[in-house]
Amino acid sequence: MTQRDSSARTLTRRALIGTALSAGALIASPIRAFATTPPGFDKWREGFRARALARGISEGTYIRCLARIEPDMSVFQKMRKQPEFNEQLWQYINRRVSDWRLSAGKVALQKHGALFSRIEKDFGVERGTLLALWGVETAYGDPLVQQNHMRPVFPSLAALAWNEPRRKKYWETELINALRIVDKHWSTPEEMRGSWAGAMGHTQWMPEVWLNVGFDYDGDGRVSPFGRPDDALGSSARFLVNRGKYRRGEHWGYEVKGAAGSGGGNKSYAQWAAAGVTRADGQPFPRPNDKAQLWTPVQGGPTFLLGPNFYAVKSYNPSMNYALAIVHLGDRILGAGPFVQPFPGSERALTLAEIQEVQTRLTKAGFDTGGTDGRVGNDTMKAVRDFQTRAGLSPADGYAGLKVLARLRQGS
């Protein structure tokens, strides 16, 4: 699982879904037993009941979802103590375009090839892009993510709607949206597990997104981000087309070379080629009349021509780094190689076996990585940072790379 960006902006998918997925403790049931109800919650709940019923929620749904729950007070600690890691761009890319995610993405494509073919036909969104979104958001819907990092959303949303001072109206609206989903018989309270902030399913939808963006792509009579990925991936493709203006048949862009002195602006690939800009892999631009803009994210690192579909991906999350990781992961799953020009000071990404070795050695040294599955999430990053601090490695950035692995091996 990956640490997700929190730089949401208006009119982006992230503005709709709010706070990102984050690792949380497993909670087995939406009805939790506290020794005592926090003071003031019952009074708020009764007032909220009236507001929910006034907005069309049925009495039965309210009772089923909220009458017996206690607020999940751990959400406030999660909100205050989200881990901060200052990653360089090459580290950010390496963590998301990981050995595990590449191999798992190829398996997911093989398993769901017919679905991706249908989406490409219906919406024109390249399979690599959607695969990468799915892989970064929830590791291709891996049940372990659901089991180990998700919690029932009603206790979380109830706590936030009751006692989060800055955005109570927002959280109360999302709680009503969650109730409306149950009212529609699209899901059950037991099935609705997500992040501490309420994002759920394959592509991490907040309830509002589920209601307003999702649609019934598999034809089973309900809209669900759980179970089969059809609704989640089909809806995400439609989002990229409607909100991001994704263009059928165009690739997101290419790594290029020869850009020095070629100027700027939005020009056709043919014009860029005439100015001496070529693809870094030596291949021709397949659609020379499509337009793109030049971007060098880090001086001395790779340079890219970015077409409109790169910015369509950016509409899903307003981070240029996120969009670059997504499109690069998509290309890699489909067989492309690493960037030709490395980022300054970068290391190659560790293999799956090497990541597992890092996690195993850290665990034996007393650092909790949250498992040894080769997937680097917040637990592993925190363990690495704590090890770096103890070992005097600078910077203590939490990056599980070659230097950390070498030092762990020395310690053994």
Q: Which of 158, 180, 208 lies at the terminal end of a domain, its last residue?
A: 208
- Convert the pLDDT of each residue in 72-111 to its tens digit: 999 998 887 666 677 899 999 999 999 999 999 999 999 9
Quick check: 373 pLDDT over 50?
A: yes
Average pLDDT, the chain: 89
**pLDDT tens digit sequence for 206-244:** 999 999 999 999 999 999 999 999 999 999 999 999 999
The greatest distance separating any two alpha carbons of the chain, rounded to the nearest whole angstrom, comes to 73
Q: Would you state the pLDDT for residue 147?
A: 73
Which domain-ending residue is among 208, 234, 255? Answer: 208
Where do the H-state alpha helices sit in 275-338?
308-314, 320-333
* 143 belongs to a structural domain: no
Is 122 domain-assigned? no
pLDDT of residue 165: 85
Query: Over 70: is that where the pLDDT of 247 sits?
Result: yes
Per the listing, tokens 């180990």 go with 148
Question: What are the tens digits of pLDDT across the range 310-334?
Answer: 999 999 999 999 999 999 999 999 9
Position 23 scores a pLDDT of: 29
Task: Write down the pLDDT at residue 77.
Answer: 85
Is there a domain that residue 46 lies in?
yes
Residue 317 domain-assigned? no
- Domain assignment present for residue 236? The answer is no
pLDDT, tens digit, 9 for 90 and up, residues 135-187? 999 999 988 777 777 899 999 999 999 999 889 999 999 999 999 999 999 99
Domain that includes residue 367, residue range: 352-411
Mean pLDDT is highest, among 14-28, 342-356, 370-384, for: 342-356
The residue-averaged pLDDT of 276-285 equals 97
Domain assignment present for residue 225? The answer is no
Last-in-domain residue among 208, 225, 248? 208
Mean pLDDT of 396-402: 94
Does 5 map to a domain?
no
- Answer yes or no: is 162 within a domain: yes
Q: What is the pLDDT of residue 411?
A: 83
Report helix, strand or coil for 156.
helix
Task: Calculate Rg over the CA atoms of the chain.
Answer: 23
Q: What is the CATH number of the domain that holds 191?
A: 1.10.8.350
CATH number at 402 reads 1.10.101
As for how many domains the chain has, the answer is 2
